[in-house]
Structures are given as structure tokens and as C-alpha cells.
Amino acid sequence: MDKRQVLKGALASALGIGMAGVLAGCSRETKASFQGVDVTGAEYARDFNLPDALGQQRSLKDFAGKVVVVFFGYTQCPDVCPTSLQELAEVKQLLGADGERLQGIFVTLDPERDQPEMLKAYMESFDPSFIALRGTPEQTAAIAKDFKIFYKKVEGPTPQSYTLDHSAGSYVYDTQGRLRVYERYGSGPQLLAADVRTLLGEKA
């Protein structure tokens, strides 16, 4: 191999390494960094289609331009559900004016007891803009499966005093309706607010 071939090979290698560095740099600059679990590109929990407390069918497209946070629970939940919804209300306040671009969605896992009027009042106790969704028992089972939500009835002393064991955590969608982050229960409003700000700051 003569010197010209050696030089050509060295130049090609240098260019290749240089381009790889540029591409890696671009990747680092454009990939969002989240406080919660990054689930961008997940094949599950892509949408919902359930009626709200007023009977209107709702899906992600109804909230285009907003960051949507979806939480599953039930109104008689003693701790996890009210804590999570209260934290979401705090997130909205932490965002200031951008709080109007945050949409809280609560999906009941207990449609038997969580009647529409009860759900409406429950949402208003945290934030009037939050929306509750209530399907049939069959729809509830189907959406829980799609979102990988575990829930199980735990019998109480009377038929109507049961509780539900269920998954705790929130699904966060960007302004284009794409699932991006899973926030673990107990992360706190500051971390969730940081992730919402990140999503609101992304270019469409």
C-alpha cells in the first residue's frame, strides 16, 4: 500500500469519527431528559376512548396542544389516589401560566360505585379542569390491560365496602398526544412539573 492510499484511509477514518461525533452531539442535544421513566415509543397506552362524567366520549385528540397526565384509581381510595391528584393540582400551580396547558385525566377502576356525579364532584375537589372517565366494567378491564394497570377487588365487611388494590403511577403525554413519561407514585410535584415543562418546551 503506497502513501497516498494510507493517507486516504486515515482521512476517511477521521471523517467517519468526526461525523459520528457530530451525530452523537445532535442526539444529545435533541433527546429530552426526564425525571420520570422515559417510555417514548412505547407500544402500549397509546390512547383512550371513554365517556367523561357528562357522557361525552373523550380521547387524546381532544387535548391537542396540552400535556396530558393520566392516572387510574377510584374515589373511595384512602390514600394513593387523593395524594396523586393533589400533587397534580400542585403541579398545575407550579407551572404558573403554563398550567392552562396541563390536562389531568382520572380513569376510574370502580365504575360500579363511581357514578358520574360523584366523579364530577371528586375532580372539582382537586381542580375544576381535571376530567374523570368512566367506562363499563368490560371497557375498564380492557383499558387497564392496555395501560398495564393491575387492579383487584378486596372484599370488605359488606358488599359495598370493598377496596381496590391497584397500580400507582401516572402516564404523561406530550402536546402531540404521544406517550413519553411514566411517573412513579410518590415522586413529588416538583419532578412531575419539571417533566411537564420539558414537554411544553419541545417544538412540535
Query: H helices within 95-203, ranges in order?
Result: 116-124, 137-146, 189-200
Q: Can you tell me the distance from the alpha carbon of 133 to that of 58, in angstroms, rounded to the nearest whole number?
A: 8
Asked if residue 77 belongs to a known ligand binding site, the reply is yes
Q: Which residues contact 84 (CB under 8 A, 6 or more apart)?
A: 71, 73, 168, 170, 185
How would you class 173 by CB atoms within 10 Å of its CB: exposed for 0-12, middle for 13-18, buried for 19 or more? buried
Please name the residues in contact with 120: beta carbons below 8 A apart, sequence gap of 6 or more.
53, 54, 132
- The stretches of the chain forming alpha helices (DSSP H) are 3-30, 80-94, 116-124, 137-146, 189-200
Per the annotation, does 26 bind a ligand? Answer: no
Binding site members? 77, 81, 166
Binding site members for Cu cation? 77, 81, 166
